[in-house]
Amino acid sequence: MKSHLYVVLGCFVCFLAACSAFAEQTFYPITITPNTVIEARYLLKNIGSTVRGQARTVPVGSYVLYAFPTSAGALFELNLTLSADSALPRIAVLDMHNKPLPFRLQTEPDGTQTVLCQIPPSWPFADRLRVRLGAKVGSFTIQQLVLHEQPVCDASSHLPIGVLHWLSGVNTLQALKFPWKEHQTDLLWDTSGLPTPQTELPVSTAQLPLTNLSSTAIRAWQSRNFTVFASLPTNLAPQYLQTHPNLAQTGADGHPILLNHLPLLEPMPSNLASLTPNLSLLASQPLNGVSVQALPYLADAAFSSPFQTAWQQSYHVPWQPPTANTAARYRTSELMAQLDADFHAALLQQLKAQTHPQSLLLVPDPLTALLQNEIVPWWQILHKAPYDAIAAQPNLTTLLHPIWLAGDRRPDPFYNAYLIASWLQELTRGLRTTPRFPLLVPSADNKTLSQGEATDLLEQQIVAALLAASPQAFSIYSSTSPTTSISNLQELLNILSVLNGVGNYPAAQDNLSPIGLLVGDSITYQSNAASALDDLYALALPILSQGIPCALVSLERCVDPGYLTPYKVLILTCDPQKPIGSATMDALANWVQAGGVLVVVGGSNAYNDITDTWWHQAGFETPIAYLWHRLGLPVGASSVVSPPQEASALTSIVTYPADNPRVVRTLNLTPYLSADGSVAVRFTNPSNTVNRPALVHTIELRVGSKVVAAFLAGSEVESYFLVYNHGSDIAPTGRIASSNASWTYQFDHLPTNQPIELLVDCEGPIQIAAGPATPDYARGLLSASQEGDLTRFFPRFHPPYDCTITSYSLPTEAQKGIVQPLYLLRNGTSPIWIAHVNNGIVLQVGLSPHYFAANELSASLLRALLEVAAYHARLSLPEHSYLVRHYGPIYAIRTFNDSYMLPGRSLDLFSLSLEVRQDRVIPPHTAALLLAVPSSGTPALLFTNGRLLAESTVAHQLGFLVAGPAGTQGFARIATANRPLLGVKAIDLYGDPIPIQVLDSGDTLLLTYPNDPDGIAIRVQWK
């Protein structure tokens, strides 16, 4: 008997070695606790054993018989945990006919026993292996059984061969497709620890934090067919700072700048040594890639001694603090950008030397950088350090930051997400660096958002990315684990499955952005970052909100051959930014001459006057003046119409206390009129507390008994009279001012021989002052063209006083058609004109960019001007207020002021039940993701909310294998092509039946089943 056992074990070991090459994927173990529902699934017979709590005791002369699922050629492992006083059971491993099979019993270091058995290659699919545990010499108590199965897998797909044959219904695997390997979108999940059945989401890459990094965790994820990245933080450890105090970014107070209570490293190549311990740890791990978290380089951090030394070495002049003047501020930012780019070049070189296969850079997007006052040289980093991939760091504050559109500041995450996605797409288009689009999953414990708002935020981000770009990779981040990131894990599962499904189809090319807004690294260089962000909103959102795609285009990459080819219309403003060199302007000039339409907005800015810039060295006052020269435009020097000084000699008329109720007050303005009939009225909140704001609802101006002006405060009509605003905001019912905020109205052309009254509907603490004012006739713009709708709807307008006007003198050539004025000032100069340059068009709009966000009138003016430019370039712009883009049968839709109808039957991919509807109408201001249901053809799997591992369609049968987190519900919607259903069956990987519900809707089926991270195989058959 002993000799026979050795022969059997020898064959067992040889067979194990032969099969090990096929078993490349690890499957989750099954933990079985006695006296539970799970044990009941496997307990085939009980002879004499008893249970107490969650332990099963088998006395002498008794036994238990378990039946476990297995498959041909699998390596079967059953780990037994027995109580300390237990005798060793007598074990037998049997086939379905109770014939014994060879096995080996080994004692583990923790004292548990493991039964190992190699299943014969002829084992019938779905047959169960029986394990009998008997008590012959002494009783034993079972506390836990853990079943490990390693089925024989297909070498290509790493999926169990047995279930693949069952899925296809034939003996060949040629009919199978493996979408997960072939077409799925690359999704990265920022996670921690080991994979678990409950938290394994349908993503392809796991990103682990450095604090939880271990070879065990890495190999555990890799054994589940995940790519594994490690996140490399680049901030300083406090203990390192103690010995290297000069390495931290330093503020004006001389102290290190902290982020999350940790000092920030100054990103200089010489400081890379501080990361050596972390880099050494990464080099010792079997990683697939490293994700570098870019250091925030704060614009106010220019006071450390190393930075001052770098300044002197770069500029050869004594260091100046950035607060000294505009030149010092700009020089500081330029040097910070250079140092940051050089730091990344040195870091990437070291990562490549460690032979890490892939590198990913996480950086703030332009919106986040402006909100956080950071210097981020995106193009310069990628130029010097070409990372394999780049992702924008998702930021909840940025997504929820109030946009500015038509005078209204309100949260709308779609616009922010759209601008970020378009910027990332355009920054990397044509480069070897792959863009990873950010997706932020709000935490369940986040007090900012309700569950509905969190779900809506996810959906808005996805639709924005699909409309603004052609994403093939996403990075998904959350501050907590997947199960608590959102209270409904089903919603997250659906969304991730949608992203995977999009990867099966190329994006339609009929909706590429016809308009690009040029944004460069220097958008963060100037001191007023909030104003720069407002400029972006003001120029992009009036276009985007009308269903006209508008992308943030890299200003620096204009010099790349063919980079501007997709665009017919570009918008350039040099007010919040400056081109880094004349080559950028040369490239834009060449693009215009080849047929492009360039809209230049603004023109006046204090940073234009810095004398050591490239444009001054070339002999030009501004970068735009160089561009006009390069294009050969016969325009004279620009002049700036600055706003007049705000009236200061105003007399307080009345002050109302904080408990002032809402009442209509009547004020006599007659004594405060100027000789030519103008009066200024200022509203101030004099309170130093924020307990109650000042609120003005409506204004009515009367001359005698006649009403000559009436408007709602904060409305579009108000903009005709609002001349100054110092901190007040628009509220739903009027204009609101917190402590010490104020605003001023001015009324002109009033008769001086009649009584003038102002009726103010107001409440809260308000001080009202009035005084004579001087009308500003120099700022009125009068139409000078016959441009159809532009002249009809905007014959004249008067920009508010916070709008700087840049105007040009046009020589006699303008009468010859080279340059045509669209609007003129009283002095005969033109702030708005259009010029034909070879095959292209230049439209100069000499108004501050933020003007176009002031109200609906100014937003409409921007759109009207763009239509004029497009008309001259023989382009047509969309005339509907929605965006639609399709990826095969998947439609991404965002409506604005109009609704949108998708004809035919469609499936709502954001619906947990995958609801189907005919001629679906998307209401205004809604994001939707729909899948068109085919009306005929052959049966097909439309969508399933999990990781689609395999799919097969043969004759009258459709099969698929799908995996999802344990504890979640699986859904699949199938188009039947109106064929009568024969039956539906679901099994696990070993052939055990899985309960499945079928809802037959005629042309579609809805299947519902419990998810399994190792996979559920489903087969649908038709008559």
Cβ proximity of 902 and 930 under 8 Å: yes
**Looking at residue 22, what is its pLDDT?**
35
* Residue 601 or 20, more confident: 601
SS3 801: coil
**Mean pLDDT for the stretch of residues 43-67:** 97
Q: Residue 891 is inside which H or E element, if any?
A: strand 890-895
> Cα separation of 273 and 271, whole Å?
5
DSSP per-residue string spanning 689-752? S-SS-EEEEEEEEEETTEEEEEEETTSTGGGGTEEEEEB-EEETTEEEE-TT-EEEEEE-S--S
SS3 879: coil
**Mean pLDDT for the stretch of residues 661-686:** 94
**Mean pLDDT for the stretch of residues 320-349:** 95
**Mean pLDDT for the stretch of residues 127-140:** 96
Say if residue 479's pLDDT is above 70.
Answer: no
Pairing of strands 947-954, 957-963: antiparallel
Cβ proximity of 891 and 930 under 8 Å: yes
| Six token digits for residue 626 | 């160089």
Hey, what amino acid is at 894?
A: R
Domain with CATH 2.60.290 in the chain: 651-775
pLDDT in tens, 863-872: 999 998 888 8
Crossing angle, helix 326-353 and helix 276-283, to 10 degrees? 30
* pLDDT above 90: percentage of residues in the chain: 65
Say if residue 756's pLDDT is above 80.
Answer: yes
Confidence of residue 856 (pLDDT cuts 50, 70, 90): confident
> Cα separation of 785 and 833, whole Å?
9
Q: Residue 672 is inside which H or E element, if any?
A: none
Least confident range of 166-170, 234-238, 654-658: 234-238
Query: Which residues in 962-975 are b (16+ Cβ under 10 Å) and which e?
Result: bbbbbebbbbbbbb
**Topology annotation, domain 882-932:** Immunoglobulin-like (2.60.40)
**Looking at residue 19, what is its pLDDT?**
36
Crossing angle, helix 305-315 and helix 326-353, to 10 degrees? 100
> Cα separation of 17 and 15, whole Å?
5
Q: What is the DSSP letter of 517?
A: E
Give residue 673's Cα distance to chain centre: 54
**Looking at residue 813, what is its pLDDT?**
59
Confidence of residue 801 (pLDDT cuts 50, 70, 90): confident
**Mean pLDDT for the stretch of residues 859-884:** 87
* Phi/psi at 929 (5° precision): -135, 115
- Quick count: other Cβ atoms within 10 Å of Cβ 654? 12
Least confident range of 115-124, 502-511, 796-805: 502-511
> Cα separation of 456 and 453, whole Å?
5
CATH number assigned to the domain covering 940-1022: 2.60.40
**Helical ranges in 223-275 per DSSP H:** 238-243
**Looking at residue 855, what is its pLDDT?**
85
**Mean pLDDT for the stretch of residues 583-609:** 95
Cβ proximity of 714 and 734 under 8 Å: yes
CATH number assigned to the domain covering 30-152: 2.60.120.260
**Looking at residue 191, what is its pLDDT?**
85
**Mean pLDDT for the stretch of residues 642-664:** 85
Least confident range of 106-115, 138-147, 267-276, 616-625: 267-276
Say if residue 280's pLDDT is above 60.
Answer: yes
**Mean pLDDT for the stretch of residues 608-615:** 94
* pLDDT above 70: percentage of residues in the chain: 93
Say if residue 452's pLDDT is above 90.
Answer: no
| Six token digits for residue 592 | 């215009």
Give residue 383's Cα distance to chain centre: 23
pLDDT in tens, 942-965: 999 999 999 998 878 999 999 999
**Looking at residue 508, what is its pLDDT?**
75
Q: Average pLDDT, whole number, for the chain?
A: 89
* Long-range Cβ pairs for the range 412-417 (8 Å, 24+): 413/456, 413/457, 413/460, 413/461, 413/464, 414/460, 414/463, 414/464, 414/894, 414/927, 415/537, 415/541, 415/544, 415/545, 416/367, 417/460, 417/461, 417/464, 417/465
> Cα separation of 558 and 584, whole Å?
6
| Six token digits for residue 709 | 């002006």
Confidence of residue 936 (pLDDT cuts 50, 70, 90): confident
Domain with CATH 2.60.40 in the chain: 882-932, 940-1022
**Looking at residue 276, what is its pLDDT?**
87
Say if residue 103's pLDDT is above 80.
Answer: yes
**Mean pLDDT for the stretch of residues 603-623:** 93
First to last CA, the chain: 55
Say if residue 300's pLDDT is above 70.
Answer: yes
Confidence of residue 259 (pLDDT cuts 50, 70, 90): confident
Least confident range of 476-480, 671-675, 1019-1023: 476-480
CATH number assigned to the domain covering 651-775: 2.60.290
SS3 94: strand
Say if residue 176's pLDDT is above 80.
Answer: yes
* Residue 530 or 1019, more confident: 1019
Give residue 534's Cα distance to chain centre: 20
| Six token digits for residue 292 | 């570098």
Give residue 385's Cα distance to chain centre: 23
**Mean pLDDT for the stretch of residues 479-486:** 45
- Quick count: other Cβ atoms within 10 Å of Cβ 553? 27
R_g over Cα of the chain: 35
Maximum Cα–Cα distance for the chain, whole Å?
127
Give residue 358's Cα distance to chain centre: 22
Query: Which residues in 585-594 are b (16+ Cβ under 10 Å) and which e?
Result: bbbbbbbbee
**Looking at residue 796, what is its pLDDT?**
86
Cβ proximity of 367 and 536 under 8 Å: yes
Say if residue 24's pLDDT is above 80.
Answer: no
**Looking at residue 934, what is its pLDDT?**
87
DSSP per-residue string spanning 15-38? HHHHHTTT--S----EEE-TTSHH
DSSP per-residue string spanning 835-872? EEETTEEEEEE-B-GGGGGS-HHHHHHHHHHHHHHHHH
**Mean pLDDT for the stretch of residues 595-622:** 94
> Cα dihedral sign for 516, 520, 522, 524?
positive
Say if residue 446's pLDDT is above 70.
Answer: no
Least confident range of 4-13, 162-171, 666-675, 775-784: 4-13
CA distance readout (Å), 820 to 568, 637, 791, 808, 865: 21, 16, 14, 12, 13
- Tell me the residue ranges of DSSP E strands in 492-549: 515-519
**Looking at residue 140, what is its pLDDT?**
97
Cβ proximity of 287 and 309 under 8 Å: no
SS3 802: coil
Say if residue 258's pLDDT is above 90.
Answer: no
Q: Is 0.75 surpassed by the pTM of this model?
A: yes
Least confident range of 252-261, 481-490, 717-726, 763-772: 481-490
Which class would CATH give 527-642+791-873?
alpha beta
DSSP per-residue string spanning 304-342? SHHHHHHHHHHHSS----TTS-HHHHHHHHHHHHHHHHH
| Six token digits for residue 84 | 């300390």
**Looking at residue 732, what is its pLDDT?**
85
Angle at 291 between CA 285 and CA 294, to 5 degrees: 135
- HSE at residue 27, side-chain half, CA atoms within 13 A, is 27
